[in-house]
Structures are given as C-alpha cells and as structure tokens.
A = this chain, B = another copy of it.
C-alpha cells in the first residue's frame, strides 16, 4: 500500500513501514528507545518487531490490557518506568497496541519531561483506522472518557495489517464501526462497499479510512469546525460506553459496539432534524444491528446515560451539540438537539 502523508507526520503501511521506521531511527539520534505494550501485544505482537528495534530498545514497559486501565494511575506507572530506566528528553517511545496504548502512550510521551517524541504502531483495527491519525492523546477520568489529554502528533504511524490476525473477531468488528462511520459522514460509495464485505476483507479498506480521516483532520486540526464530523455517533456513544464501563454488573461494551448504537440513535436525530430520509435511517439501523448485538436498555439506564451527556467534551455553555447526517455520505456539525428527542431515539432503537 502507498504511504499517506499528513501535514504533521507520515503514515506508512506494511513493508514500507518497516523500512521507514529503520530509516527514521537511524537518522534521529535518540538516547534511548522505549516500547510500551499491554499484556496482549507483549505476548502476540512484540516478536514481530524484534528485527526492527534490535538491541537498541529497552525492556518493554507493560501495562494491563483494557479501557479500565486507561487512567492517570497507569500513566504514573509508565512515567515512573521511564524515569527509572533513565529516560531523558531525547528518548523515543514506541506505542505498540490498540487505542488504549496509543492514546495513553501518546499522552505519557507528550508530558514526560514536558514532551518526548513518540511513534504509534496500532495493532487493533480500531486504532489503525481511528487512533492512527489526528494526534488526540489522553486518558479517562473515572467514568468520563478522554477527559485529560493533549493534542500532539506522533512522529510517525506504522500500520501492519498482518497484526490483525492476532485480534479476536469481536475486536475486529469494533474497529469496523469506525470505518462505517467514515462512509456515513463522507462517502456514500465507501459505505456501499463496506456493507457488503466479509470480515476477512476489512484490512484492504484501512487505507481508504485513513485517507478520509486524514483529509478531514488536515483541514481542521484543532476541531473548530469540520473535524467535528468525526464525532458522529460518539456523543451518545461515549455516554453509553461510559455507563457500561462503570456499571457494577453489566458487561462492558467495546468502543465500536457503543458508537454503533450511537450512530443509530444519532441517525434518528438526523432524520428528525437534518432531513435524512426514513429509508436511509432504516438502512443504517439494519446494517449496525446485523453487525453488533442489540443491547437491552431499561428506562433507568436511558435516564443515567442522558445525564452523562452533560459531561461530553463537545458541549459548551450548557448546550449539547451533535454532528448529524443530511444523508448517508454527508454530515453537518453543531446541531443543538432538544432533550426530549433522546428518549424517542432510544425508543426507535428498541423497536
């Protein structure tokens, strides 16, 4: 696959990526090269890079796997590990893992000694198509997702689709939700392609998703305007994800599973407020429900989720702003939604 050059950094695929990393590390005299992994990528992915980092890399820094560990406490562990292993301002951090590793590792690097360089090597489909571009780093604060972070670009993003064979099918589906989002907000033809795919073909479409996201982010890196389109499905999706993450009994939803629901709910809002047809709304619902399990929300669940919305980062001055669709392939930002529509949206989901 070809490389994608973003204004801030380069995104390389496959063989080109290995060569690009080797060349980059040779050209830049880093004092130490650290690798951050989680338990899973330590076991399944690290060996793949033995020929790349060679003897120059330090012992890997290993964190626990899962969104519940995307916390400041985990950051403290990693900052301390970097300190204890003699990390300095000229150190490099390679983040090898899914979105938790790349988001948290990016934040740790951006703040260690007021900022060291980092490179992201996403290992999940979700991280490849989403976390690989845009420079958002951060961690959760209790139930509130990504409350603490900075925007800072990695020096390079390397995508090895071979690593996807290590992923569980449920994780693969989770990443696919972000790809479907790229179709919904920007490209009707891409949506049509995606909805007829088998899971074994997802990897051939990663580059298209990266290009769509990169295109948007370059036009609006600080999310003043069109970058907000990438939040489609995420306003309600994040609230749902937070709720299930913190719930003492209910199973956790993966990010893609939560935003899949968010995209149906916000599809309903789009139908009501920004002119998307009922036919397209039903198509969206059908696609997502055929790919993701239907969740049984109680009225109590729905009440708490709507309450969590007020902490969404995209709010300001007490208004809840949404990205909605005019039609499949075209999104519009900054739409204020009357609160009473939220319950209707859940009712449509449950139909």
Contacts and interface: CB of A to CB of B under 8 A. Distances in A.
A311 B147 CA distance: 29
Contacts of A345: none
A90 B317 contact: yes
Interface of A: 29, 31, 72, 75-76, 79-80, 83, 86, 88-90, 107, 110-115, 136, 138, 141-142, 144, 146-151, 310-311, 313-318
Nearest to A111: B148
B150 A138 contact: no
10 contacts: A31-B316, A31-B317, A80-B141, A86-B310, A89-B316, A90-B316, A113-B147, A113-B149, A114-B146, A114-B149
A146 B149 CA distance: 17
Contacts of A150: 110-111, 114-115, 150
**Within the oligomer, what is the number of copies of this chain?**
2
Contact of A148 (B79, B86, B89): B79
Contacts of A147: 79, 83, 112-113
> Top 3 closest A-B pairs, CB basis?
A90-B316, A31-B317, A113-B313
Given A88-B313, A89-B316, A315-B88, A112 B148 contact: yes
A102 to B, nearest CB: 15
A83 B313 contact: no
A87 to B, nearest CB: 9
